[in-house]
Structure formats: C-alpha cells, structure tokens
Amino acid sequence: MKRILITGAAGFIGSHLCDRFIAEGHEVIAMDNLITGDLKNIKHLFPLERFTFYNHDVTNFVYVPGKLDYILHFASPASPIDYLKIPIQTLKVGALGTHNLLGLAKEKKARFMIASTSEIYGDPLVHPQTEEYYGNVNTIGPRGVYDEAKRFQESITMAYHRFHGLDTRIVRIFNTYGPRMRLNDGRVIPAFMGQALRGEDLTVFGDGSQTRSFCYVDDEIEGIYRLLMSDYTHPVNIGNPNEITIKDFAEEIIKLTGTDQKIIYKPLPKDDPMQRQPDITKAKEILGWEPKVGREEGMRKTFEFFKGLSTEELEKTEHRDFTAHNKK
Ligand code: UDP
C-alpha cells in the first residue's frame, strides 16, 4: 500500500484520481482549498479509513505527517472563466504551490507529478502538438496567468529533478470531460449541456471553426496513472486526438440532447486557441496508452451526469463574458 498526497482533490480530475488510487488499494491524503473544487466530488470517500481530507491552500507551507510515496499536484483553477476571476491565485498555485510541494517531495523522498496542460502550447503554430513544440503563448493575455504558471511549474519541476535528483513526472493534459465537471466553469461542454437542459440556445464563440479534441475522464486517468508508474521524466501529452470544430460539436450536442435549440454566435474570447490536437505517439510508445472511449459514448455519460443535477444547480449557472478583456 502506497501513501499518496493529491492536491486539487475535490476538483474534477483530482477527485477521479482519488477514486482510482483508493480502488488500487492505496491510502489517499486529499488536499484542496475549495476555491473551485467541491466536497461533493469526494464525499463518498470520507467514511474510508484510507482517505483523509485537508482543507488547505498549498500556496502556504504544506505539512503532512508520516511517509509519502507519491505527490500529485493537481490543484489549480483550470478554466478561462476562473483565470479572469482569480488570476493571482492561479499564478500562485502554479508557482508558489508547486515550490512548496516540491520541497515536501524532496523531504519525503516522494515521486512528484504535476498536472501540466496543452495550454503551455498557447495558440499553437504546430499541429498536432508534439511534446517538442515550445508553444506560442501571450504572456500578458487573459490566459497568460494559467499558461505561464504551468510553464513555470514544468521548469521548476525539471530543475528539482536535475539539481536535487527528485523523481518527477509531467503530464500535459488536453481538454478532458466527464461526470463532475463544474456546470458553471464556462467550459464548452458544461456550457452546451447546461444550455440544452435549460432550453437555451447554444452559444458558439467566434464562427466555431476553432477545434478541440476531447478526452473522456476515464481514459485521461488511465494515462496519468500509467505515466506515474512509468520511469519517464519528460513531459507526455495525454489526450484524445479525435479533433472537431466547435460548430460541429454544437451540432452533435443538439443531436445528443434531442433539444430543438439553435446555435447562436458570440464574439471569440481573446487568445482563444484556433486549433488543438495532441500528438500521442509518446504516450502510445512509452505507456502503451491510447484513449478507448469515443465521443458519442463519453458525451452520453456526461449528459447523464448533468441531467442528474437539481434544477437549482442548473439555474445558478453564470454566463461567461469576455467583453471587458476584449476591449483592453
Ligand atoms: N466555447 C464556445 N461556447 C461556449 C464556451 C466555449 O464556443 O459557451 C468555445 C471556446 O471559445 C473555445 C472552445 O469552445 O474555442 C473550448 O473552450 P473551453 O473553455 O472548453 O476550453 P479551452 O478554450 O480552454 O480549450
């Protein structure tokens, strides 16, 4: 039995990771400051003896008694609406939080993994994105607080690896979806599904020709798990290469949800990447991993989850407004 610290444990991916490590028979120490996470994602784990939760902000000194085998740093706001609302916290958790947790990993001689992101490629000029691509990021744009924090996080992790010999892993996560996504996080999947359930038209930003490649959360967790268990210390893309334009995706959602809503067009947010598709050659070769869940099946399961939310939860969704940023 291993002892694992997971930060961002009450979040979407963090909570699925907790489930996975508990299912593997390990002990999980979950940490979250609940700014964007929600205890309802992990409340089913509270009765377990092998599960402990700390309500803690990792940008402050982190103390965990006892041994730790793995530290998985998954705490961070992770949607454009969050970067606008809490930009400083986004920078701090990627920079100061990562530094604190690296110190803890060094002290405990634990393997350390960070949740990096396709956002480090920015609005990519290389397609699909390989791990060797350095990216095209606007440091001072609305997404810069996330992109640069994550780039710094990769740098400091590699510095601890090289300078202190720390055992490290870097996963670059591409758009991931599934149950427990936050309905009001402004991301396209909860946005479209919430709109369909409320009987509103689907808001496509720009002309909808921008692309994304969506990975179902079970596949993502499997990829992350395999990378952690491997001995590969350089970044690995984990995502689903099946790419679609946002306009075609909106049409798929209309079909799936069986609504008679229409598509309406809104201005494209600043620095919204035009295309995104992971090259997963490395994950295939090194981890023997590739996604198994197709978009139709994954979206169906995800819609079931959103359908299960209360009317109250459905109504409190806020709308994403980038107008102020577009003016600057
Ligand atoms: N998007 C959209 N309508 C919405 C929300 C998002 O057309 O109501 C677009 C957004 O502009 C982007 C894509 O969907 O091009 C994916 O957005 P998301 O925020 O999910 O993720 P990211 O841009 O970080 O990949």
Calpha distance 75→8 (Å, rounded) = 4
What pTM does this model have?
0.96
Q: What domain range includes position 234?
A: 3-176+215-238
Question: Domain check: are 119 and 197 in the same one?
Answer: no
- 62-72 pLDDT per residue, tens: 999 999 999 99
Report the percent of the chain where pLDDT is more than 70: 96
Does 95 reside within a domain? yes
Does 284 reside within a domain? no
Question: Domain check: are 142 and 60 in the same one?
Answer: yes
CA of 74 to the centre of ligand 1 (A): 21
Nearest atom (ligand 1) to Cα of 118 = 25
Cα–Cα–Cα angle for 301, 305, 308, nearest 5°?
A: 140
Calpha distance 188→246 (Å, rounded) = 8
Question: Domain check: are 96 and 223 in the same one?
Answer: yes
Question: Domain check: are 121 and 195 in the same one?
Answer: no
Question: Domain check: are 141 and 183 in the same one?
Answer: no
Q: How confident is the model at residue 317 (pLDDT cuts 50, 70, 90)?
A: low
How far from chain centre, in Å, is Cα 150? 12
Nearest to 276 by CA among 151, 139, 122, 150: 122
How far from chain centre, in Å, is Cα 130? 18
User: Structural domain tally of the chain?
Assistant: 2
Reading the block at residue 187, the tokens are: 């991301």
What are the backbone dihedrals phi and psi of residue 168, each rounded to the nearest 5 degrees, phi first? Answer: -125, 155
Residues with CB under 6 A from ligand 1: 79-80, 175, 186-188, 191, 203-205, 210, 212, 246, 269, 272
Nearest atom (ligand 1) to Cα of 208 = 7
Calpha distance 266→223 (Å, rounded) = 35
pLDDT of 323 over the 60 cut = no
CA of 215 to the centre of ligand 1 (A): 15
- Positive or negative, the CA dihedral 268, 11, 228, 22 is negative
- 151-175 pLDDT per residue, tens: 999 999 999 999 999 999 999 999 9
Question: Domain check: are 64 and 204 in the same one?
Answer: no
Question: Domain check: are 268 and 172 in the same one?
Answer: no
CATH number at residue 297: 3.90.25.10
CA of 96 to the centre of ligand 1 (A): 28
Question: Domain check: are 7 and 33 in the same one?
Answer: yes
Q: Pick from 118, 187, 302, 317 the residue to mutate for probing ligand 1's pocket: most ligand atoms within 8 Å of its CB.
A: 187
Does 9 reside within a domain? yes
Nearest to 190 by CA among 182, 201, 202, 200: 182
Question: Domain check: are 72 and 197 in the same one?
Answer: no
- 259-316 pLDDT per residue, tens: 788 999 999 999 999 999 999 999 999 999 999 999 999 999 999 999 999 888 888 7
Does 288 reside within a domain? no
